[in-house]
Amino acid sequence: MNIFTNSILTLKFVTKVFAVNRENGAYHSYIKKVASYEIRKSHDLNDGSISRLDFLKIQWYMVTTLYLGELIAELRPNKLTEQEKMSLIYSGALMAITDLMVDDHQLGSEKLIALLSGEAFDHEDLPPVENVFILYHNKLVSIISKKKVQTIQNFSLRKPHIESQSQLITDLTEDEVINHTRKKGGTALLLTASLILDINKKNEAAIYQLGTFIQYMNDSQDIYKDIQSGITTFVRYCDTFDEVNKTLEREFRKTEELFQKKTYPVYGVYKLLFYLNGMYAGITYKNTQYARITGNEIDRSLINKLDKEQFRVNLFSLTSINYCLPRLLTFKLAAS
């Protein structure tokens, strides 16, 4: 591909990112329109135990899951249908609500299995967050095929999210953390991809690795929040932000290699990896800014004392554009 192609894709990428990152942007407006009934009903079900930030988290998961679904759809000849977009939106809501139930409401695995199974409950006996889960779950299963319902209700694909509280344990080994990171990211994206692709032995490893890489990027940019919350991620085993970026580069190259196995159309793969490279550039830019604050050292005690505003990075600043734009315009696939 040449710089002309990259210029066009850069414009599309920046437009999408801007629309996703703005709380009142096009993506947020779209999901509010599509899921207007469920959003309104979930507020009606609330007794105050679900906070405004919780509802905002659900909204963001809906947006980001739709965005990731659009990226994955580059691997197929047809664009997403409206029904597929709806399924991605409701799936994102379920992921967010699962996080809330596990992290904030300490919901056990057995109860989640029951909720996923569609088991009948007396709704008056359930806390609001569980009723909201049922609301979105029932909507999702009503618009997808029986085969996809079986995947959505497959507890093993959600188990890594249920076990995410294990990351609060301080004596985890590096291998245990890395293994959990890969499972959490990989299974989450397999769930998302199953709504719009036929998952098989030819593509499962690539989708799983893509989800892993996205989880690595999320953990990288969440360093301040995770340290404040006592959450252990791969970043804990890095001494500097340079090491974090080297880890991200390794995972990006793994992803790139798997998607060049000629299972998918060449241009579709190129667009997917181009957009992924754009996200990757934004994350590494954030890390360079974090490194300036700490002298490149990842010192947990120092970071704990800093204000979160110091870790807010404007991806649309002139310095960010100067950093990211060359990485977009000169992008090319590594030799496979």
CB atoms within 10 A of CB 179: 13
The pLDDT value recorded for residue 165 is 53
pLDDT higher than 80, residue 189? yes
pLDDT higher than 60, residue 162? no
Q: What angle do CA 263, 65, 14 make, to 5 degrees?
A: 85
Question: What does pLDDT average to over the chain?
Answer: 88
Taking the model in full, what pTM does it have? 0.89
Q: Residue 104: CA atoms inside 13 Å, Cβ hemisphere, count?
A: 16
Give the confidence band of 318 by pLDDT, cuts at 50, 70, 90.
very high
What is the average per-residue pLDDT within 192-200? 91
The pLDDT value recorded for residue 150 is 83
pLDDT higher than 70, residue 303? yes
The pLDDT value recorded for residue 110 is 72
User: How far apart are the C-alpha atoms of 102 and 260, rounded to whole Å?
Assistant: 37
Per-residue model confidence as pLDDT tens digits over 215-272: 999 999 999 988 888 888 999 999 999 999 999 999 999 999 999 876 788 889 999 9
Phi, psi of 136 (to 5 degrees): -75, -35
Give the confidence band of 152 by pLDDT, cuts at 50, 70, 90.
confident
Give the confidence band of 101 by pLDDT, cuts at 50, 70, 90.
confident
Q: Which long-range contacts (CB under 8 A, 24 or more apart) does 225-232 make?
A: 225/308, 227/300, 227/303, 227/304, 228/304, 228/308, 229/168, 230/168, 230/170, 231/167, 231/168, 232/167, 232/168, 232/169, 232/170, 232/172, 232/177
Instruction: Look at 242 and 167; give whichever has higher pLDDT.
Output: 242
Tokens of 22: 């703005």
Per-residue model confidence as pLDDT tens digits over 108-140: 667 777 777 766 666 677 889 989 999 999 999
9 to 211, 258, 267, 273, 284: CA distances (angstroms): 22, 22, 12, 11, 20
Burial of 10 (0-12, 13-18, 19+ CB in 10 A): buried
The pLDDT value recorded for residue 123 is 67
The pLDDT value recorded for residue 166 is 52
The pLDDT value recorded for residue 266 is 85
What is the average per-residue pLDDT within 73-86? 93
What is the average per-residue pLDDT within 158-169? 56
The pLDDT value recorded for residue 114 is 76
User: How far apart are the C-alpha atoms of 96 and 61, rounded to whole Å?
Assistant: 6
The pLDDT value recorded for residue 122 is 65
User: How far apart are the C-alpha atoms of 281 and 314, rounded to whole Å?
Assistant: 13
What is the average per-residue pLDDT within 314-335? 93
pLDDT higher than 60, residue 333? yes
Which CATH number, 1.10.10, 1.10.1760, 2.60.120, 1.10.600, labels domain 3-329?
1.10.600
The pLDDT value recorded for residue 294 is 93
Give the confidence band of 31 by pLDDT, cuts at 50, 70, 90.
very high
pLDDT higher than 60, residue 173? yes
pLDDT higher than 90, residue 285? yes
The pLDDT value recorded for residue 201 is 85
Q: Which long-range contacts (CB under 8 A, 24 or more apart) does 80-87 make?
A: 80/196, 83/143, 84/195, 84/196, 85/34, 86/34, 86/35, 86/143, 87/140, 87/143, 87/144, 87/148, 87/195, 87/196
The pLDDT value recorded for residue 149 is 87
